Amino acid sequence: ELLGMLSSLGTLQGRPADEVVAQAAQVLHIGDVAPGGWAVLGAVLTLYLADRPEPALAALGGVLDHAQRHGQGWTYVLGATTRALVHQFCGNLTDALADAQYSFDVIMQERWAPGTAMPQTVLASLLVRQGDPAGAEETLAAIARPRFGDFTLEYHWSLIAKARARAALGDVEGALAVLRTCGESLTGNGIGNPVLAPWWYESAELLAGLGRTAKGEAVLDEVEPAVRRWGTNRALGMLETSRGVLATGDAAIERLHAAAGLLADTPAKVELAKAEYLLGRRLLARGDAEGARERLRRSIDLSVRSRDKQQLGLSLPALAEAGGRMRHGTDSPSDALSGSERRVAERAAEGATNREIAESLFITQRTVEVHLTSVYRKLGIGGRAELAEALRDR
């Protein structure tokens, strides 16, 4: 437990990632740490923020298996929500949305919503990526946790989600105000990790769009020491992206090229797709249509694999503007499934009965029946026997 606390504390403070990762790895290798314990979840926080998603996901698998075997519904929801965070951080938005939607549905069904905020926050962030910022704001409005501002992680994550939704809805000034609140709160609480709630990264692009480059540069000057201390290629790549979006001419292209190079060596697919898009736009503005098309196609490919509809909505028109051909046929019928529908369908395809599915997911058998009926309709199949093949074809 002590190692887990030290790892989490060092992560929040923004100590060098390699140092805290070593502590987190020790936590996961100690045999007497209960799978559902806070030490494991603390280690997971460190590992995924430091771009070590594989051990983080393996540890969460242990938490979820333990919770399922012992009928611990709340722990299962917490583990699934945390797994959604890890998937989102790695750009695996399909699995992230499935876990987040499932967790949200359970807390609403069990009336746990007043005691939690993490499922609402994670789902809201993902809804923005799915092109539904209004739905994101509605989801955030469901947070009713008393003294919410006292909860370090959920509160700051919710501010990032809120700012992204505001920006997507066109309220740039409102988004910047929320991001300023986030940055000030992080500083006031002694949280120095630059990728935990990257208000500065979100702010830079918005400030650039308003022509406030000096303000943007001041924000980045303030956070750069923390970025370099944490030291991951993701953090450094995000900093280069932000510097690039505020720069002009060849300097912007050099920065964005460096950003793409750094991010390519990380699990940060969403951030890499953004850097490639921004680089493509700058190359097109310089008159290099061929170079622009190459970068924009990379952005599109990454966004398709991540199911990042928000970025696709930017990259596809930019490619057309650069004289490139838009790609079609990237959607599958199963993409329309909600997170809860997908979880139920996957278990049904494995041969589980409705009762077994209900018990494993902590929902009612009636809810399982409703989800399966919806799944059959969306996939255009006649019943359970066709599920496995339909899901494989997604």
Predicted TM-score of the model (pTM): 0.86
Which amino acid, 223? V
Q: Which CATH number fits domain 232-325: 2.60.40, 1.25.40, 2.40.50, 1.10.3470?
A: 1.25.40
124: tokens are: 């809201």
DSSP reduced 3-state for 156: helix
Spell out the domain ranges in the chain.
Answer: 232-325, 335-392
- Assess whether the region 232-325 and the region 335-392 belong to the same CATH fold: no
pLDDT in tens, 286-330: 999 999 999 999 999 999 989 899 999 999 999 999 999 865 544
Q: Is 329 exposed, middle or buried (0-12, 13-18, 19+ CB in 10 A)?
A: exposed
DSSP reduced 3-state for 248: coil
pLDDT in tens, 229-281: 999 999 999 999 999 999 999 999 999 999 999 999 899 999 999 999 999 99
Q: Which of 75, 152, 90 is nearest to 121 (CA)?
A: 152
CATH number of 335-392: 1.10.10.10
Q: Which of 325, 350, 339, 328 is nearest to 374 (CA)?
A: 339
A 10 A CB-CB count for 305 gives: 15
Q: For Cα atoms 218, 222, 227, give the angle at the middle one, nearest 5 degrees.
A: 125
pLDDT in tens, 53-87: 999 999 999 888 888 888 888 889 999 999 999 99
Per the prediction, the chain carries an average pLDDT of 90
Q: Between 51 and 333, whose confidence is greater?
A: 51
